[in-house]
Amino acid sequence: MIIIDAVVGNEKEDTESFEAKMFYDLEMMVLVNGKERNEKEWSKLFFSAGFNNYKITHGLGFKSLIEVFP
């Protein structure tokens, strides 16, 4: 499965990406009661859903490419 979404806590991000990510997070909380996840939270979600492995590639602006494997 391929997911394109923000991963909070990426230490390689610049200030502009960080600000965009926080604005997006605030927008999700206000409009749809959503939240952004850090890598540990993504991992817990994938493994509890029965997936065996995942790979996160940062670098799509403030979003990341998340590949999840069965």
How do residues 5-24 score in pLDDT, each as one tens digit? 888 776 666 677 677 777 87
Chain CA centroid to CA 7, Å: 3
Count up the domains in the chain and report the number.
1
Q: Is the dihedral of CA 57, 69, 8, 3 positive or negative?
A: positive
Contact 9, 39 (CB under 8 A): yes
Pairing mode, strands 37-38 and 7-8 = parallel
Range of the domain at 47: 2-69
Contact 69, 54 (CB under 8 A): yes
What type of residue is 27?
E
Task: Provide φ and ψ at 20, rounded to 5°.
Answer: -65, -40
Lowest mean pLDDT among 2-6, 7-11, 35-39, 66-70: 7-11
